[in-house]
Chains A and B, each alone.
Chain A
Amino acid sequence: MTTEIGERQLHEQELDRVTIRFAGDSGDGMQLTGTQFTRTAAVFGNDISTLPDFPAEIRAPAGSLPGVSGFQISFSSSEIHTPGDQPDVLVAMNPAALKTNVGDLPAGGALIVNSDAFTQQNLNKAAYAGSPLTDGSLKQYTVFEIPISTLNARALEGLEMTNKQVDLTKNFFALGIMFWLYERSMDPTLRWVDQKFSARPVIAEANKRALKAGYAFGETTEIFHERYIVPPAHLEPGVYRNITGNEATALGFLAASRLARRPLFYGSYPITPASDILHQLSTYKSFGVKTFQAEDEIAAIGAAIGASYGGALGMTATAGPGIALKSEAMGLAVMVELPLVVCDIQRAGPSTGMPTKTEQADLLQVMFGRNSDSPIPIVAPATPAECFDYAIEAWRIALKYVTPVVYLSDAFLATGAEPWKIPSPDKLPDIAVENVTDPSSYRPYARNPETLARMWAVPGTKGLEHRIGGLEKADITGNVSYDPENHHQMQVLRAQKVAGIARDIPPLDVYGPPEGDLLILGWGSTYGAIRSAVERLQANGRSVAHAHLRYLNPFPANTEQVVRSYRRVLIPEVNLGQLLMLIRARFLIDAVGYDRVRGKPFRIAEIFDEAERLLGPTTRESIAPARAARGRTHSRERKAKRRTGDD
Chain B
Amino acid sequence: MTETNGQSSEPGLSPENQAVIQLTRKDFVSDQEVRWCPGCGDYSILAQTQKVMPDFGYPRENIVFISGIGCSGRLPYYMNTFGFHTIHGRAPTLATGLKAARPDLMVWVITGDGDALSIGGNHVLHSMRRNVDFKMVMFNNRIYGLTKGQASPTSELGKRTKSTPSGTIDTPIMPLTIALAAEASFVARSVDTHTEHLQGTLELAGRHRGSAFVEVLQNCNIFNDGAFRDFTDREVREDRMLLLEDGQPMIFGKDRDKGIRLRGLHPEVVALGDAVTEDDLLVHDAHAPEPYLALMLSRMWWPEFPVPVGVLRDVARPTHDELLTGQIDAAVAASGEGDLARALKSGETWTVE
Q: Is A416 close to B, CB under 8 A?
A: no
Which residue in B79, B101, B331 is a CB contact (below 8 Å) of A263?
A: B101
Which residue in A286, A311, A470 is a CB contact (below 8 Å) of B332?
A: A286
- Whether the Cβ atoms of A298 and B80 lie closer than 8 Å is no
> How many residues on B have C-beta within 8 angstroms of the other chain's C-beta atoms?
62
Instruction: Output the least CB separation between A465 and chain B (Å).
Output: 5
Instruction: Output the least CB separation between A600 and chain B (Å).
Output: 27
Instruction: Please give me the residue from chain B that is nearest to A258 by CB atom.
Output: B340
Instruction: Output the least CB separation between B208 and chain A (Å).
Output: 20
**Interchain CA distance A265-B98 in the complex, whole Å:** 10
Which residue in A39, A303, A468 is a CB contact (below 8 Å) of B93?
A: A303
When distances are taken between beta carbons in the complex, the residues of chain B under 8 Å from A425 are 340-341, 344
Which residue in B61, B94, B102 is a CB contact (below 8 Å) of A462?
A: B61
Instruction: Please give me the residue from chain B that is nearest to A463 by CB atom.
Output: B61
Which residue in B83, B87, B324, B327 is a CB contact (below 8 Å) of A470?
A: B87
**Interchain CA distance A301-B30 in the complex, whole Å:** 29
Q: Is A309 close to B, CB under 8 A?
A: yes
Residue in A238, A303, A332, A424 whose Cβ sees the most chain B Cβ within 10 Å: A303
Q: Is B64 close to A, CB under 8 A?
A: yes
Instruction: Output the least CB separation between A356 and chain B (Å).
Output: 23
- Whether the Cβ atoms of B348 and A237 lie closer than 8 Å is no
Which residue in A239, A460, A471 is a CB contact (below 8 Å) of B351?
A: A239
Which residue in B76, B94, B331 is a CB contact (below 8 Å) of A306?
A: B94
Instruction: Output the least CB separation between B65 and chain A (Å).
Output: 8
- Whether the Cβ atoms of B328 and A462 lie closer than 8 Å is no
The contact string, 1 if C-beta is below 8 Å from chain A, for chain B 80-113, is: 1111111100101111111111101100000000
Q: Is A267 close to B, CB under 8 A?
A: yes
**Interchain CA distance A589-B347 in the complex, whole Å:** 47
Instruction: Output the least CB separation between A388 and chain B (Å).
Output: 9
Assess A238 versus B352: contact at CB under 8 Å? Given A290-B328, A302-B90, A459-B102: yes
Instruction: Output the least CB separation between A429 and chain B (Å).
Output: 14
Task: Please provide the chain A residues from 355 to 391 with a CB less than 8 Å away from any CB of chain B in the complex.
Answer: none
Instruction: Output the least CB separation between A133 and chain B (Å).
Output: 37
When distances are taken between beta carbons in the complex, the residues of chain A under 8 Å from B122 are 295-296, 299
- Whether the Cβ atoms of A470 and B85 lie closer than 8 Å is yes
- Whether the Cβ atoms of B62 and A459 lie closer than 8 Å is yes
The contact string, 1 if C-beta is below 8 Å from chain A, for chain B 116-159, is: 00000011011000000000000000000000000000000000
**Interchain CA distance A263-B353 in the complex, whole Å:** 36
When distances are taken between beta carbons in the complex, the residues of chain A under 8 Å from B348 are 39, 42-43, 188, 241-242
Instruction: Output the least CB separation between A476 and chain B (Å).
Output: 15
**Interchain CA distance A254-B346 in the complex, whole Å:** 13
**Interchain CA distance A355-B227 in the complex, whole Å:** 49
The contact string, 1 if C-beta is below 8 Å from chain B, for chain A 400-429, is: 000000000000000000000011110000
- Whether the Cβ atoms of B85 and A468 lie closer than 8 Å is yes
Instruction: Output the least CB separation between A297 and chain B (Å).
Output: 10
When distances are taken between beta carbons in the complex, the residues of chain A under 8 Å from B80 are 465
Assess A240 versus B351: contact at CB under 8 Å? Given A305-B97, A463-B61, A479-B32: yes
When distances are taken between beta carbons in the complex, the residues of chain B under 8 Å from A469 are 67, 76-77, 83-86
Q: Is B59 close to A, CB under 8 A?
A: yes
Residue in B62, B96, B330, B344 whose Cβ sees the most chain A Cβ within 10 Å: B344
Q: Is B273 close to A, CB under 8 A?
A: no
Assess A307 versus B350: contact at CB under 8 Å? Given A422-B345, A425-B341: no
The contact string, 1 if C-beta is below 8 Å from chain B, for chain A 442-477, is: 000000000000000001111111111111000000
Instruction: Please give me the residue from chain A that is nearest to B28 by CB atom.
Output: A465
Q: Is A235 close to B, CB under 8 A?
A: yes
Q: Is B349 close to A, CB under 8 A?
A: yes
Instruction: Please give me the residue from chain A that is nearest to B320 by CB atom.
Output: A292
- Whether the Cβ atoms of A284 and B93 lie closer than 8 Å is no
The contact string, 1 if C-beta is below 8 Å from chain A, for chain B 313-340, is: 0000000000010011011101111101
The contact string, 1 if C-beta is below 8 Å from chain B, for chain A 326-354, is: 00110010001000000000000000000
> How many residues on A have C-beta within 8 angstroms of the other chain's C-beta atoms?
70
When distances are taken between beta carbons in the complex, the residues of chain B under 8 Å from A307 are 97-98, 100-101
When distances are taken between beta carbons in the complex, the residues of chain B under 8 Å from A430 are none
- Whether the Cβ atoms of B82 and A459 lie closer than 8 Å is yes
Instruction: Please give me the residue from chain A that is nearest to B35 by CB atom.
Output: A480
When distances are taken between beta carbons in the complex, the residues of chain A under 8 Å from B126 are 294-295, 299
Q: Is B343 close to A, CB under 8 A?
A: yes
**Interchain CA distance A267-B93 in the complex, whole Å:** 10
Which residue in B86, B96, B336 is a CB contact (below 8 Å) of A286?
A: B336
**Interchain CA distance A287-B90 in the complex, whole Å:** 29
- Whether the Cβ atoms of B343 and A251 lie closer than 8 Å is yes
Q: Is A547 close to B, CB under 8 A?
A: no
When distances are taken between beta carbons in the complex, the residues of chain B under 8 Å from A479 are 32
When distances are taken between beta carbons in the complex, the residues of chain A under 8 Å from B338 are 254, 284, 286-288
Q: Is A549 close to B, CB under 8 A?
A: no
Instruction: Output the least CB separation between A402 and chain B (Å).
Output: 15
- Whether the Cβ atoms of A459 and B64 lie closer than 8 Å is yes
- Whether the Cβ atoms of A462 and B59 lie closer than 8 Å is yes
**Interchain CA distance A295-B125 in the complex, whole Å:** 9
- Whether the Cβ atoms of A299 and B93 lie closer than 8 Å is yes
When distances are taken between beta carbons in the complex, the residues of chain B under 8 Å from A332 are 86-87
Instruction: Output the least CB separation between A311 and chain B (Å).
Output: 7
When distances are taken between beta carbons in the complex, the residues of chain A under 8 Å from B100 are 265, 290, 292, 303, 306-307
- Whether the Cβ atoms of A460 and B101 lie closer than 8 Å is no
Q: Is B60 close to A, CB under 8 A?
A: yes
- Whether the Cβ atoms of B344 and A242 lie closer than 8 Å is no
Assess A470 versus B341: contact at CB under 8 Å? Given A42-B348, A304-B97, A311-B102: no
- Whether the Cβ atoms of B93 and A302 lie closer than 8 Å is yes
Instruction: Output the least CB separation between B104 and chain A (Å).
Output: 7
Nearest 5 A/B pairs, CB to CB: A302-B93, A469-B85, A306-B97, A303-B97, A287-B338
Contact sample, A vs B, 9 pairs, CB 8 Å cutoff: A42-B348, A239-B350, A263-B101, A287-B340, A309-B97, A459-B105, A466-B82, A469-B76, A480-B77
Given contacts A238-B352, A239-B350, 9 further A-B contacts (CB under 8 A): A242-B347, A265-B101, A267-B97, A294-B93, A298-B90, A299-B126, A302-B96, A306-B84, A459-B102
List residues of chain A with CB under 8 Å of any chain B CB: 39, 42-43, 45, 188, 235-242, 251, 254-255, 258, 263, 265, 267, 284-290, 292, 294-296, 298-312, 314, 328-329, 332, 336, 422-425, 459-471, 479-480
